[in-house]
Amino acid sequence: IKQPSIYKPALFLFLWQSTPTSDGAFLFFMTEDLKFGPEFLGRVRFVTAVASLFGVWLYNQYLKTRPIKDILFWSSIISTPLGLLNLLLISHVNRDLGIPDTWFVFGDDVVLSILGEIAFLPTLVLAARLCPPGVEAVLFATLMSINNGAGTLGTEFGALLTKWLGVTESNFDNLALLSIICNLSSLYPLLFIGFLDEVGSVSEQDIENEEAATVIDTTTT
């Protein structure tokens, strides 16, 4: 893991996952301000799960041949303005536009779930590619632990920001600012996208073709 070809991509994955999130505060907003009940939130969760499966299909059909680095870069670029759309919901501007709160939440969550899955799958491919022969299981488990730990850290950062901005279950005055900070902060890992130059410049399809060629060479020799 001391090799630059391993720790640089691992560091990028850590930065990628450790950005703060406003999910906790936004859940309070949906339940306390918008008055969404458990039944509706369960439907949203089901629909987003189906949307994630569509994201997997979309990736396998059209994006497997694209370089991993490009997918991560453009998924971040596209997700940021889409994530800021919840400002319309927070300010209730969607109602002025004639879009009910429920339909707005469904549409926003579906699109973001698809993009999230498209961005997540390349990270798994990248983590698998980093593992040298002989230590695949240990290193992959380590990378996934780093990934999960970074996600937890991002949640904690989001909680600290929520407290610092005074957002509570009954005060959403700064929720819009919290959402803006969290969404824009997701772009800063792109400053380190160069860490993936060595391993992320190929696609999953290229990796599969390379492995297949290696197997053929092994069997013929």
Element (H, E) at 143: helix 136-164
Maximum Cα–Cα distance across the chain: 70
The answer to whether the predicted template modeling score (pTM) of the entire model surpasses 0.75 is yes
Residue 147 confidence (pLDDT): 85
CB 5 within 8 A of CB 199: yes
Residue 182 confidence (pLDDT): 93
Residue 3 confidence (pLDDT): 74
Q: pLDDT 10s digit of each residue in the chain, 221 long?
A: 567 777 888 888 899 899 999 988 999 999 999 999 999 999 999 999 999 999 999 998 888 888 888 888 999 999 999 999 999 999 999 999 999 999 999 888 899 899 888 888 888 888 777 777 777 777 888 888 888 899 999 999 999 999 999 998 889 999 999 999 999 999 999 999 888 887 767 666 766 666 666 656 666 65
Q: Which structure tokens are listed for 58?
A: 């979309």
Closest-CA residue to 122 (of 203, 58, 197): 203
Element (H, E) at 125: helix 101-130
